[in-house]
Amino acid sequence: MQNTPDQSVGRNTVLLPGFSGNKVSGPAWASIMGLAMLLCAVQFLQATAISPDSVTLEWNPNPETDILSYQLNYGTAPGSHPSIVDAGTNTTASVTGLVEGTTYYFVVSAINQAGLQSVASAEVSYQVPVTQVSSVTVIPQTGWSLRYVNSQALNTYAAIRAFDGKPNTSWATDYLNPATLPPHELQIDLGTAYPVGGFRYLPRQDACTDGSIDQYEFYVSADGSQWGTPVASGHFANTKTEQEVLFDSKMGRYVRLRVLSDFSDDPNCVVAELNVLQGAIVAPPPTATAFANWAAAANLSALDSDPLAAPQSDGIANLLKYAFRMNGSGPDVTVLTSGTGTTGLPFIALERSGTTAVLHFEYLRRKNSSLIYIPRKSLDLQTWLPLSSTTPTVTSLDAEWERVVIAEPCDPAAPASFGRVEVMMPTL
């Protein structure tokens, strides 16, 4: 499909392949074409212009000379068109009072003077765009970084263009050599932990429609490894307008968009902009209270009870001892014994085998707490990067603790690789 300027009306016009004179223009137009003896379907028709509450449909006149009227039927479910508009002999009809965010389905038929009615045209759908989004806070993109993407068409359509603040640029999956098949995935590091309560998706803003997302899943994670179940999933509307999805707040630093299908049934995915919305504050009183109880049990008070204090002169902060099941009442620099240990700082080791190498992470994690554990890797102890999308192995130890093991692939030719596990305690 190609877009050309419609100078007569000052709007965009969509020309349909194989036909002439069919147009889709704003505030919202859809076209239905009549051919042969009865009306036939228009292929690849889309209503893409923004309209607050109305849509105008247009079709070519039938070639018969005894057409008495045209009947437009519509409804809000595919294949069901209970509402009727008598267009008379006109080849256009308008429907007003449409509800924002609702998809409507239209067909048209011709009636001749003998009372015979043609078979209905192919169904045309139109999604009424939401003209206003909620007033929730948008998390600034300035601190974001790309954590993982399964495919990107470098350089023009690099993944970082999905969050560069420019609606005229896009992330696109590789569509050549050969095209990468869905599902597609984009993971973003927000830079710090936020209560995430929604996101906004802006489809590509050029004349093309390939890659517009249909079915999606959205995840929020504290550490970028444990994603759990989606906080939101569903289908987007087939429109060029920005769409918003809200959900119950979840505390996290990482977000993940999975694209399961697009509207054009091709393997590509294109995102012009992805914005993440800050939700209601997720209170962590259980963690704050539990830490205070732990500090009191270790006979720590005043400044010595601060999470970042190291009162035992061993260089290990209270928060790390609390997070890794260590002794807070005395010096403790124990490192977790791989496979069997039940206390200690994370065990991290570079393991080589032939031409492969992995960075082995193993650490304890408190269950049902809002502590945020973030494993990271480095080649030079200067730049620390998040791990890849490797799925960790989690084993329950008891009602309060679990063991996390991650085998992170790394470059076997690198002279050294380093790892660490950061721990954060969210505050109100």
Tens digits of residue pLDDT in 15-34: 323 333 333 333 333 333 33
CATH class of 137-278: mainly beta
Give mean pLDDT, residues 270-284.
84
User: Is the CB of residue 259 less than 8 Å from the CB of residue 213?
Assistant: yes
Contacts of 142 (CB under 8 A, 6+ apart): none
Bridge partners, 250 (sequence order): 196
**Of the given ranges (138-142, 261-265, 338-342), which has the lowest mean pLDDT?**
261-265
Question: Is the pLDDT confidence value at 36 over 50?
Answer: no
Sign of CA dihedral 264, 272, 244, 248: positive
CA separation for the pair 87, 73 (Å, rounded): 10
Percent of the chain scoring above 70 in pLDDT: 83
Same fold, 2-127 and 286-424: yes
Domain ranges of the chain: 2-127, 137-278, 286-424
Distances in Å between the alpha carbon of 404 and those of 185, 317, 367, 391, 401?
Answer: 24, 21, 11, 10, 10
Mean per-residue pLDDT for 107-119? 87
Q: What is the mean pLDDT of the chain?
A: 81
Q: Using one digit for the tens of pLDDT, what is the confidence trace for 156-187?
A: 899 999 999 998 899 999 887 767 889 999 99
pLDDT at 44 over 60: no
Query: What homologous superfamily does CATH list for 286-424?
Result: Immunoglobulins (2.60.40.10)
Domain boundaries 2-127, corresponding CATH code: 2.60.40.10
Looking at residue 115, what is its pLDDT?
Answer: 86
pLDDT of residue 18: 30
Residue 11: per-residue pLDDT = 32
pLDDT > 70? residue 374: yes
Predicted confidence at residue 94, as pLDDT, reads 85
Confidence of residue 61 (pLDDT cuts 50, 70, 90): confident
Over residues 43-67, mean pLDDT: 65
Distance CA 237, CA 106 (A): 16
> pLDDT at position 283, please?
54
Quick one: pLDDT band at residue 119, thresholds 50, 70, 90?
Answer: confident
Q: Are 306 and 318 in contact (CB under 8 A)?
A: yes
Query: What residues contact residue 398 under an 8 Å CB cut-off, 6+ apart?
Result: none
- When pLDDT is cut at 50, 70 and 90, the band that residue 93 belongs to is confident
Q: What pLDDT is recorded for position 100?
A: 73
What's the predicted TM-score (pTM) here? 0.47
Q: What is the pLDDT of residues 411-422, one digit of tens each?
A: 888 888 999 999
Q: Which of 249, 295, 256 is nearest to 274 (CA)?
A: 256
Tell me what pLDDT residue 52 has.
Answer: 57
Which pLDDT value is given to residue 92? 86
3-state secondary structure the chain: CEEEEECCCCEEEEECCCCCCCCCCCCCEEEECECCCCECCCCCCCCCCCCCCCEEEEECCCCCCCEEEEEEEEECECCECCEEEEEECCCEEEECCCCCCCEEEEEEEEEECCCCECCCCCCEEEECCCCCCCCCEECCHHHCEEEEECCCECCCECHHHHHCCCCCCCEECCCCCCCCCCCEEEEEEEEEEEEEEEEEEECCCCCCCCCCECEEEEEEECCCCCCCCCCEEEECCCCCCCEEEEEEEEEEEEEEEEECCECCCCCCCEECEEEEEECCCCCCHHHHHHHHHHHHHCCCCHHHHCCCCCCCCCCCCHHHHHHCCCCCCCCCCCECCCCCCCCCECEEEEEEECCEEEEEEEEEEECCCCCEEEEEEECCCCCCEECCCCCCEEEECCCCEEEEEEEEECCCCCCCCEEEEEEECCCC
- Residue 60 confidence (pLDDT): 80
Residue 149, pLDDT > 70, answer yes
Indicate whether 300 pLDDT > 70.
yes
Residue 239 scores a pLDDT above 50: yes
CB 33 within 8 A of CB 131: no
CB-CB contact of 406 with 394 (8 Å) = no
Q: Which of 253, 257, 254, 212 is nearest to 230 (CA)?
A: 257
126 pLDDT above the threshold of 80: no
> What pLDDT is recorded for position 156?
84
Q: What is the pLDDT of residue 428?
A: 40
- Band of the pLDDT at 371, cuts 50, 70, 90? confident
- For residue 85, pLDDT over 80 is answered with yes
